Structure 1
Amino acid sequence: MRFKRVFLIVMDSVGIGAQPDATSYFNDGVSDINAHTLGHIATSMDLKLPNLEALGIANIEPIKGLKPVNLNQSYVTKIQEASLGKDTMTGHWEMMGLYITKPFQTFTTHGFPEELIKELEEKTGRKVIGNVAASGTEILVELGEEHMKTGNIIVYTSADSVLQIAMHEEIIPIKEQYKICEIAREITMKPEWKVGRVIARPFLGTNKTNFKRTPNRHDYALKPHEKTTLNFLDEANYDVIALGKINDIFDGYGINKYSKTVSNDDGMNQITEWATKDFNGLCFLNLVDFDALYGHRRDPIGYGNALMQFDKQLPLLMNNLNDDDLLLITADHGNDPTYVGTDHTREFVPLIAYSKSFTEGGNLPILTTFSDIARTISDNFKVEKTPYGSSFLGLIK
């Protein structure tokens, strides 16, 4: 075992330029071939990322305002997604060693099929309102008061394969809310509608000016169809620590410690706290704000400010790393906030590998599957490997 601890940070949706197959992926009828999440944020504002710059983010692709540097303690490259799809679950599952040949269904354009909604209404005894792609906070402003008057449940989706149900805790008790979502999970397991996640989104408040989601969110996710590197680590008695929505994405499969986060800042605080603890294994963090708050809402300035805040927090984490730690920073897909539509974009993702023990650095070859990360982690801990990907452990000195 070369590294005792591996810290893997997913900057959710921070793509770094369109993949060659982006012509087959679309936003509002326009192919993703001109998408470049990080590049277009940098052309929209004065983007300052001194710590990511020092790690070599601009050595991967030219980024306005950022300069390539001499690399001596980090290795960088970009990774092409091999699976079919550009959603969160596909990206993360591939990152842990799976290959997805059939994309998870999304329902962004027209909402969920009438037959699905009708069955949900019949089995829950409640009418559905909404059934659109929407921000979870904005739909409460639009439909929250109607829900309180009628008891109708608010169904909505996003660019991911997800069915979300918003319900007021004083109108529909939590126990019933969870039962409704269990029914929705059962319905959406049908092959023709297979949805990645069903999420209960409870809220409180008296009117549209003060509605607020509560901590009683509950996810009903699909388990990965095969074992991943997480399972192999867990079975070998290594620590598998999931922060943010990682536990939800994998439905807890192969994870033995987890906690949720309320923001990117909270995620970075938590992973930095874990860096001060003694453990042996993987600490896996997703920073969802980039995607949820700024990418889908097409807010390049907000996105850029969030990146700069993340950049400011990196040194504290890095200072708490030991010589036998490995830090990997990557992403799961793109979500160019300057692009048409509101969907994810099919892009390469960056990869930065850093360790205090590195005696040199440089550019790695372009990687052709996110599963190379899984293979490298398995290689390091000498555990079973998934069938996909190749280890780059031997390339980092």
Structure 2
Amino acid sequence: MGRAIIIVLDSVGCGAAEDAGVYGDAGADTLGHIAQACAEGCGDRVGLREGSLRLPNLDRLGLGRAMQASTGHSSPGLGLGEPAGQWGYGVETSLGKDTPSGHWEIAGTPVQFKWGYFSQTMPAFPPEFTRALIAEGELPGILGDKHASGTAIIEEFGEEHLGDLKPICYTSADSVLQIAAHEHAFGLERLYALCKIARRLCDPLNIGRVIARPFVGRTSADFVRTAHRKDFAMPPPAGNLLERAALAGHEIICVGKIGDIFAHRHTGRELKGANNNDHVDLTLRALAEARDGALIFVNLVDFDTDFGHRRDVPGYAACLESFDARLPELTAAMRDEDFCIVTADHGNDPTWRGYDHTREHVPILSFGKGVAPGPIGRRETLADIAETIAQRLGLAAGAHGRSWLA
């Protein structure tokens, strides 16, 4: 049977979806635009990287082919040779383009309800919500109360926050409330407690996530977010892959923020580090320890958080190349019967306007020593990933999607 591994490269989309225009994202292409920018010299940064995008290990699995199948054209630096893995692309059917929508669909349960969103106005939050948060959180007030980039709003309000300890509350185009506070002056546990209050207040509004965003530093010049981010998500739909695996008695190991995304339900042993490299290390640890039949579910978030939202093309390109360089370690740690899928949950095109996610197809690359390479085509839902894994692990089929394995 072997083990099954899902690695989600958070936000690494491969071309605008057919409904991208509904989301204001017609023409977005995270991977394609990064590759083009690098070929044109716009992906260079002194001391970080230079030249064309170099992803030889992902490309060997079929990334270039998957991108071409999605968009209809090739991308500079990515080849179209015969891949050693199975390759294709997936179409997200969930409503919304944020993290829970993508991950829940990858796990076999597409989002079929409408998320709640906060207003584009200033203030963004309903007054009754803000009053309740202030009262129940015993706060002197809040700062922000608008749509914003996380790093920009901390720079804008961080010094004021240190003076009055009002938390910085903001949102985005996603169904999310983010609360930033100084890890020491405000207190990490106090921030988490406030987010739990906010989670309860957000439930009637159908807001997908409340995210704690602790930061440190003394001035706007040196504020930096810490690794103690925590997501408080709505519970996932019943019947997802994690639930099926847990009920069947399979070992489950979740790496990165998977536990947060699935509200810690059926998430087994959770391993969490500070960045992508930590999470690759923890995945290698999981591969060394997990028994036969285990499900290992990994999220690598740096692409999205550190570079997509910040519209940082060189940083995003370097992050992709860094993961690509470590892929052989993961492959070497797999046993003969193991099966791995590398995919993404949405896009976050760093060349795009604004600072929000982009509605895109996602690459799907699958491999293992016993897996015959070749195209898996266009997958009409990301739930096909869950059903393919379910087949490999001998789990009952879910209500959505179908396996691409014979």
Structure-2-length-normalised TM-score = 0.89
**Structure-1 residue corresponding to 2:260:** 248
Say if 2:96 and 2:174, in contact at 8 Å, map to a contact too. no
Supply the AA of the counterpart residue of 2:95: L
Determine if the alignment matches structure 1 residue 208 to structure 2 residue 220: yes
Determine if the alignment matches structure 1 residue 104 to structure 2 residue 115: yes
Say if 1:182 and 1:220, in contact at 8 Å, map to a contact too. yes
**Counterparts of 1:160 and 1:378 in 2: how far apart (Å)?**
30
**Counterparts of 1:20 and 1:287 in 2: how far apart (Å)?**
26
Say if 1:108 and 1:159, in contact at 8 Å, map to a contact too. no
Q: Which range moved further: 344-353 or 55-64?
A: 55-64
Q: Which range moved further: 295-304 or 35-44?
A: 295-304
Please state how far the C-alpha of 1:176 moved relative to its aligned partner: 3.6
Map residues 16-165 of structure 1 onto 2, 5 A cutoff: 16-26=14-24, 32-45=25-38, 46-60=52-66, 61=68, 62-71=74-83, 73-107=84-118, 109-110=120-121, 111-126=124-139, 127-165=141-179
Please state how far the C-alpha of 1:220 moved relative to its aligned partner: 2.2
Identity of aligned residues (%): 41
Say if 1:108 and 1:158, in contact at 8 Å, map to a contact too. no
Query: What do residues 78-122 of structure 1 show as CA deviations (whole Å, max 9, x unaligned)?
Result: 111111211110000011111212242344843323332232223
Supply the AA of the counterpart residue of 1:316: E
Please state how far the C-alpha of 1:202 moved relative to its aligned partner: 3.4
**Structure-1 residue corresponding to 2:329:** 316
Query: What do residues 356-394 of structure 1 show as CA deviations (whole Å, max 9, x unaligned)?
Result: 223x41111211000001111112222223200001121
Please state how far the C-alpha of 1:210 moved relative to its aligned partner: 4.1
Say if 1:326 and 1:354, in contact at 8 Å, map to a contact too. yes
**Structure-1 residue corresponding to 2:271:** 259
Map residues 216-235 of structure 1 onto 2, 5 A cutoff: 216-235=228-247
**Counterparts of 1:20 and 1:136 in 2: how far apart (Å)?**
29
SS in structure 1 opposite 2:379? coil
Query: What do residues 276-328 of structure 1 show as CA deviations (whole Å, max 9, x unaligned)?
Result: 22423111111111111111111122111111111111011111211101111
**Structure-2 residue corresponding to 1:10:** 8
Q: Which range moved further: 382-391 or 116-125?
A: 116-125
**Counterparts of 1:218 and 1:381 in 2: how far apart (Å)?**
30
**Structure-2 residue corresponding to 1:238:** 250
SS in structure 2 opposite 1:219? strand
Q: Which range moved further: 88-97 or 379-388?
A: 379-388
SS in structure 2 opposite 1:52? helix
**Counterparts of 2:120 and 2:309 in 1: how far apart (Å)?**
14
Supply the AA of the counterpart residue of 1:94: E
- C-alpha distance 22-146 of structure 1, shift in aligned 2 (>3 A): same
Map residues 325-344 of structure 1 onto 2, 5 A cutoff: 325-344=338-357
After superposing on structure 2, the runs of 4+ consecutive aligned residues of structure 1 that deviate more than 6 Å are none
Supply the AA of the counterpart residue of 1:362: G
Say if 1:243 and 1:271, in contact at 8 Å, map to a contact too. yes
**Structure-2 residue corresponding to 1:29:** none
SS in structure 1 opposite 2:26? helix
- C-alpha distance 158-260 of structure 1, shift in aligned 2 (>3 A): farther
Please state how far the C-alpha of 1:163 moved relative to its aligned partner: 1.4
**Counterparts of 1:341 and 1:203 in 2: how far apart (Å)?**
23
Query: What do residues 177-226 of structure 1 show as CA deviations (whole Å, max 9, x unaligned)?
Result: 33322221111111xx2211223333444433444445554432211132
SS in structure 1 opposite 2:365? strand
Say if 1:80 and 1:349, in contact at 8 Å, map to a contact too. yes
Q: Which range moved further: 85-94 or 335-344?
A: 335-344
Supply the AA of the counterpart residue of 1:47: L
Determine if the alignment matches structure 1 residue 167 to structure 2 residue 181: yes
Q: Which range moved further: 216-225 or 206-215?
A: 206-215
**Structure-2 residue corresponding to 1:188:** 202
**Counterparts of 1:247 and 1:204 in 2: how far apart (Å)?**
25
Say if 2:227 and 2:274, in contact at 8 Å, map to a contact too. no
SS in structure 1 opposite 2:297? strand
Please state how far the C-alpha of 1:34 moved relative to its aligned partner: 0.8
- C-alpha distance 108-317 of structure 1, shift in aligned 2 (>3 A): farther
**Unaligned 5+ runs, structure 1:** 27-31
RMSD: 1.9
Structure-1-length-normalised TM-score = 0.91
**Counterparts of 1:168 and 1:339 in 2: how far apart (Å)?**
30
Q: Which range moved further: 135-144 or 96-105?
A: 135-144
Say if 2:215 and 2:225, in contact at 8 Å, map to a contact too. yes
**Counterparts of 1:9 and 1:310 in 2: how far apart (Å)?**
11
Aligned length, in residue pairs: 383
**Counterparts of 2:320 and 2:188 in 1: how far apart (Å)?**
36
Supply the AA of the counterpart residue of 1:15: G
Q: Which range moved further: 214-223 or 271-280?
A: 214-223
Instruction: Pick the aligned partner of 1:345 from 335, 347, 358.
Output: 358
Please state how far the C-alpha of 1:167 moved relative to its aligned partner: 2.5
**Structure-1 residue corresponding to 2:48:** none
Map residues 262-301 of structure 1 onto 2, 5 A cutoff: 262-280=274-292, 281-301=294-314
Q: Which range moved further: 343-352 or 124-133?
A: 124-133
- C-alpha distance 175-297 of structure 1, shift in aligned 2 (>3 A): closer
